[in-house]
């Protein structure tokens, strides 16, 4: 079976490739993933596409099909494999066990379809392209399959995938209720009666990380890229965090948009202050050359001490929190849900959509409306307890930041 392999470099961000059953890189997948990286795709995009290609080459290997010459029905078998985990021709005893939600099939299918579109354009490899695309079917939804390579391919304006993914009719973005957000934070660390914090600096770091996500609506890469001098908490002004447009995180975390200032509440300031004191007590100001310009979220247990935190470490913490509270938290929640929760809470509290747009860093208000328009239309959502109290401490300036 093909699998995804993490590739680490000492002097540049890590990346991903696909290796086959012979433990050697799958050449077509490697070339396409290299193309994605050269085009500026984020590490998360490369990773997601690598998993899609690994599943595709697993199906090809199982069926004995060549990667550049296969029946069109193979892609249908590939989608079934993603949905159920059953390889073609494999007998199953009992009902199929669903392994992937329909909403998660998009990036995996996009990886395969986009790879063949790339090879059709770059190498004039039209046979597999024609097996997956039909010039007789038009689809306004084609962009869902290959958003990154829209326009790449010999006749992309006319061609559409033969297999159209059926997605559930769901307009709502996933959100966490206030009690669930508190569960996440309290699992990381809580303040003791003597003023200390459980789990020490590590617990404070984790609680601060998820608290910043929840209170600012920033993206995972933006928070991982924060430096200490981005926290503006002195001088008598309203406390704020500067989200800077950076692309220098050693593990590939990136800030997708330009710089913006997000105003924060006093509780988050107090939590950040506690965390910094814990770092100083631990000797971080001595071990790090310039703590003010160093990353806020760093390794404290595993890996190189005070090295920038990896996204994988965050997801490990998500898994741990979910395992501890299987009844209280959705099984599939991710850090990005806190961004959706932030936007939802602001809109439910009556904050103008243009302010929410600027706070989230959206390029235009239409993006905000397209993503969260359902919030203002669904009056029943206002019945969720404590939404207004949840955002009461968030300070938003008149300029919309």
- The pairs formed by 232-237 with CB atoms below 8 angstroms and a separation of 24 or more are 232/261, 233/269, 233/272, 233/273
Nearest to 222 by CA among 305, 295, 289, 317: 295
- Poorest-confidence range of 1-5, 71-75, 98-102, 205-209? 98-102
Q: pLDDT for 259-300, tens place per residue?
A: 889 999 889 999 999 999 999 999 999 999 999 999 999 999
Closest to 55 measured CA to CA, from 129, 1, 132: 1
- Name every residue whose Cβ is closer than 8 Å to that of residue 17 and which is 6 or more positions away in sequence: 4, 5, 7, 25, 26, 29, 30, 33, 50
Please, which pLDDT band fits residue 127 given cuts at 50, 70 and 90? confident
Q: What is the pLDDT of residue 134?
A: 62
Would you kindly state where each structural domain of the chain is located, as residue ranges?
Answer: 3-161, 178-391
Looking at residue 361, what is its pLDDT? Answer: 86
What is the distance between the alpha carbons of residues 401 and 397, in angstroms, rounded to a whole number?
Answer: 6
Give residue-wise pLDDT tens across range 37-68: 888 787 778 888 999 999 999 999 988 899 99
Task: Name which residue leads in pLDDT, 311 or 91.
Answer: 311
State how far the Cα of 183 lies from the Cα of 325, in Å rounded to an integer.
8
Amino acid 398: pLDDT: 43
CATH class for domain 178-391?
A: mainly alpha
93-113 mean pLDDT = 72
User: What is the pLDDT, as a whole number, of residue 128?
Assistant: 86
Confidence bin at 26 (pLDDT 50/70/90): very high
For every residue of 258-327, DSSP letters joined together read: --EEEE--HHHHHHHHHHHHHHHHTTHHHHSS-GGGSBSSB-SSSSSTTPBPPHHHHHHHHHHHHHH-TT
Task: Express each pLDDT in 142-172 by its tens digit.
Answer: 333 344 433 333 444 456 665 555 444 445 6
Do residues 297 and 207 make contact, with C-beta atoms less than 8 angstroms apart? Answer: no
């Amino acid at each position: 079976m093909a699998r995804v392999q993490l590739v680490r470099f000492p002097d540049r961000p890590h990346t991903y490739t696909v290796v086959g059953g012979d433990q050697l890189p799958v050449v077509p997948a490697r070339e396409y993933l290299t193309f994605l990286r050269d085009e500026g795709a984020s590490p998360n995009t490369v990773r997601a596409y690598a998993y899609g290609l690994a599943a595709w080459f697993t199906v090809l290997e199982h069926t004995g099909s060549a990667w550049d010459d296969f029946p069109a029905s193979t892609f249908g078998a590939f989608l079934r494999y993603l949905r159920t985990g059953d390889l073609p021709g494999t007998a199953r005893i009992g009902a199929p066990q669903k392994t992937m939600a329909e909403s998660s099939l998009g990036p995996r299918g996009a990886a395969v379809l986009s790879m063949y579109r790339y090879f059709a354009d770059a190498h004039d490899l039209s046979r597999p392209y024609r097996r997956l695309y039909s010039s007789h079917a038009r689809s306004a939804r084609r962009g869902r399959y290959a958003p990154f390579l829209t326009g790449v391919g010999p006749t992309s304006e006319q061609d559409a995938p033969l297999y159209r993914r059926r997605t559930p009719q769901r307009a709502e973005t996933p959100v966490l209720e206030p009690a669930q957000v508190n569960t996440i934070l309290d699992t990381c660390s809580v303040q003791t009666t003597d003023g200390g914090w459980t789990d020490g600096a590590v617990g404070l770091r984790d609680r601060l990380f998820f608290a910043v996500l929840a209170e600012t609506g920033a993206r995972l890469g933006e928070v991982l890229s924060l430096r200490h001098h981005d926290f503006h908490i002195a001088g008598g002004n309203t406390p704020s965090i500067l989200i800077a447009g950076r692309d220098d995180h050693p593990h590939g975390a990136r800030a997708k948009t330009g710089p913006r200032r997000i105003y924060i509440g006093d509780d988050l300031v107090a939590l950040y202050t506690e965390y910094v004191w814990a770092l100083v007590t631990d000797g971080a100001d001595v071990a790090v050359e310039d703590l003010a310009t160093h990353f806020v979220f760093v390794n404290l247990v595993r890996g190189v001490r005070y090295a920038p935190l990896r996204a994988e470490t965050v997801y490990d913490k998500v898994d741990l929190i979910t395992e501890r509270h299987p009844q209280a938290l959705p099984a599939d929640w991710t850090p990005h849900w806190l961004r959706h929760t932030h936007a939802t809470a602001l809109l439910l509290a009556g904050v103008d959509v243009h302010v929410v747009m600027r706070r989230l860093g959206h390029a235009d208000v239409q993006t905000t409306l397209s993503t969260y328009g359902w919030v203002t239309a669904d009056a029943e959502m206002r019945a969720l307890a404590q939404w207004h109290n949840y955002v009461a401490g968030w300070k938003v300036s008149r300029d919309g930041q």
